[in-house]
Amino acid sequence: MNIARRSALTSLMALMVAWPSAHALEPIKGKAILTITGKVAEKNGANGAEFDLTMLEKLPQQTFSTKTPWDKNPIKFKGPLLRDVLAAAKASGTTLKAAALNDYQTTIPFDDAKNFDVIVAYQMNDQPIPVRTKGPLFIVYPFDTKAELRSNVYYERSAWQLKSILVE
């Protein structure tokens, strides 16, 4: 048991030495609100890449307003681009399986992150998003920019109360 633990620790250290990348994912300090697992090359936790709010705020930010099927008025969203988040974790694959706190699951093609400016929003109308509504994280497509996005396919991919992403 001890040996196993030690070997796990050494292998972790070996990994950190092996990828001394300039963008190496910093160790998590606050409470993890997003975990990216599966095919990720950059890991800062036992399960994979973990992010707290501060880490997400440090990534390049994107802000846009769009109408959604869930509200009568357009909503202003703010957060990093999904592709930047995936890049920070050095994720590579074909599909993303997003899971929500409420056990909601949806599958997103990896290319969606490249083709559209999808963001991982942590603010709605300049306010943090509480779990009581749709928080803390919300995958949002820029629905107003393209007609093809205003369909059930993309509405279903827009997971709220996002908890984790499994890269496959």
Contacting positions for other proteins (CB under 8 A):
69, 71, 101-102, 130-134, 152, 155, 161
Shortest CB 147 distance to other proteins, Å = 17
Shortest CB 102 distance to other proteins, Å = 5
Shortest CB 30 distance to other proteins, Å = 14
Q: Which of 102, 107 has the CB closer to other proteins?
A: 102
Closest residue by Cα to residue 158 from 32, 66, 35, 92: 66
Q: Which of 64, 155 has the CB closer to other proteins?
A: 155
Shortest CB 54 distance to other proteins, Å = 19
Q: Which of 5, 31 has the CB closer to other proteins?
A: 31
Closest residue by Cα to residue 66 from 56, 75, 54: 75
Q: Which of 28, 101 has the CB closer to other proteins?
A: 101
Q: CA-CA distance, 112 to 165, in Å (whole number)? A: 14
Contact 44, 27 (CB under 8 A): yes
Shortest CB 47 distance to other proteins, Å = 18
Could you tell me the CA-to-CA distances from 90 to 20, 23, 49, 95, 153 in Å, in that order?
A: 13, 10, 9, 14, 26
Q: Which of 87, 155 has the CB closer to other proteins?
A: 155
45, two tokens: 């936790």
Q: Interior CA angle at 81 toward 76 and 82, to 5°? A: 115
* Start-to-end Cα distance in the chain: 30
